[in-house]
Chain A
Amino acid sequence: MLIFDFAEKFAKAPGPRTEKIGPNSGAKFREKFLEDWFKNNQAVEIDVSGTVMNFGPSFLSEAFGKMAKEYGKEKFYSIIHVKDEGKRNLKLKQLIDKHVDIALSK
């Protein structure tokens, strides 16, 4: 499984929804990383322990919510894993679960 250090490879502070609004956006993360992982069926463990800010609802719904809606819950969780250690990782896991449920409820 590929281990993805979010702070090192993307940004220390996750941004807003789209690049038009601000840098390090959810849309950029989805286009640059998530779409490739899903196309190549590459399982990834995301580690956000190096980030300095919590993930906002806009980033989460634009990045993870959209992927869950496109590929379905089963495929989503077969690809996306969050590291089990650390406060920020546990918090991210809860938030991803929440936004996946919201996205799939529509």
Chain B
Amino acid sequence: MNKKNKRKIKAHYLYKFKKDFYRKHGRKPYVLLKKEQRKKYRRVRKKSKLKMIQEPIIITLPSILSLSNEYRTEFLDTMKKINTYLPSKNYKCSIDHSYIERIDPEALIVLAADIKRCVRKNKILRFNPKYAPKNEQVMRMLNSIGYWEHFNISKKDLYTDKKRRYLKIIHDIQADNMHVVELREFFDKKLDFLDDNDDAEQMFDDAISEAIANSVEHAYIKKQDRIIIDNAWWLSGSYDTTNNELFFMCYDQGIGVKEALSHHDNRKVKKWVSKFGLLIKSDSDVIETLVKEDLPKYKDTDRGHGFKHFIKFIENYSQGSLNIYSKKGVCKFIKEDNSILTHKHEFKDSLDGTLIVWKIKFDRSVTKC
């Protein structure tokens, strides 16, 4: 084909394109507009874009943030609102912390994780003093636990909690055991909580590392119908030298313990799961079974004892508790005077993922001089 014919065909197709475009949109294609016409077109597009962003949404956090029976529903309803509006490009969203009077650390880690996943890609968070906590104790707690830093918000004048020390929230997507060392060294600086006991140290390391490894290995599946940060887990801890107590917790936003079992690909585990009828049991029953019953051993390794490691650490101390929250269930194992009591509860509403909380109360001062 010679050059003349090629030019004719090109001109014909260009003519056809302009004609079709004008019929469809009622105007010339942007590329073919003159300079002044382009400016006008850009102004019109900007205005119509701004119209899309509606009135800013203000999500007010309740006065008490807690996962306990009375306050759980209100807390989870607020989480749903955050999940709906915060990730959306169409809304300007603010989270009002000013009415908070009390936050339980468990609820705080869930809140921080939820906000983090919602603003992962497209939004930058800013600190607005108008919506900051008015309660001084709450503010000190958020400062101490690294709440603002978790969202990359740099804030001056960070007054921290003097009574209670917090390890700043640790967040990762890999089971890096240096974080376990970080948590242990945080406690070890001021407390003699391991009492020079090698077994207690081993149990502490095993409990946390198994919890983190479980989150990365089992909690997340490929297709989930909500926003997640794949393999993400959060870790924090705190101690109070006046009350001689410490706690630490590990949280993931996965599918929960029961559903993770149903997705397991090992034949022996599937057999064991059906033997105990775990898929028809409630979430709290499943947690109890995993902690107390002997899991099947895999073909060539001694896998499947992760949950048992969680409770072994508590058994070292005279007073302690292990609370495992997963979806609608919570299972609490309370150590008192050489025996472990189990309390289970099922809720109507579901918490995303699994939260494991260890608490130890010492009957004497363990503060290092």
Contacts and interface: CB of A to CB of B under 8 A. Distances in A.
Interface of A: 12-17, 20-24, 52-54, 56-58, 61-62, 65-66, 69, 87, 91, 99, 102-103, 106
B174 interface: yes
Contact of A57 (B184, B216, B305): B305
Interface in B256-315: 297, 299-303, 305, 309
B342 interface: no
B302 A13 contact: no
**Which applies to chain A's interface (DSSP): helix, strand, loop or mixed?**
loop
Interface string B148-184: 0000000000000000000000000011111011001
Interface stretch (B60-68, B116-124, B198-206, B354-362): B198-206
Contact of A21 (B184, B216, B300, B302): B216
Nearest to A14: B177
B301 A22 contact: no
Given A16-B177, A69-B300, A54 B210 contact: no
Nearest to A56: B209
Contacts of B181: 12-13, 52-53
A30 B253 CA distance: 32
Given A103-B300, A106-B299, A23 B174 contact: yes
A17 B213 contact: yes
**Among B206, B209, B299: residue with most chain A CB under 10 A:** B209
Interface of B: 174-178, 180-181, 184, 198, 201-202, 205-206, 209-210, 212-213, 216-217, 297, 299-303, 305, 309
**Which applies to chain B's interface (DSSP): helix, strand, loop or mixed?**
helix
Contact of B176 (A23, A57, A62): A23
16 contacts: A13-B178, A15-B175, A16-B177, A16-B209, A16-B217, A17-B217, A21-B213, A22-B175, A22-B212, A53-B205, A57-B206, A57-B302, A57-B305, A65-B301, A103-B300, A103-B302
A58 B150 CA distance: 30
Contacts of A53: 177-178, 180-181, 184, 205, 209
Given A12-B181, A53-B180, A91-B198, 5 more contacts: A13-B176, A56-B206, A61-B303, A65-B302, A106-B297
B177 A15 contact: yes
Contact of A103 (B175, B180, B198, B301): B301
Given A15-B175, A22-B213, A65-B302, A54 B202 contact: yes
Nearest to B305: A57
Nearest to A15: B177
B177 A24 contact: yes
B12 to A, nearest CB: 57
A54 B176 contact: no
Contacts of A69: 300
A45 to B, nearest CB: 21
A65 B303 CA distance: 11
B174 A61 contact: no
B210 A56 contact: yes
B196 to A, nearest CB: 10
A74 to B, nearest CB: 19
A24 B209 CA distance: 13
A22 B217 CA distance: 9
Contacts of A99: 302
A56 B205 contact: yes
A83 B157 CA distance: 51
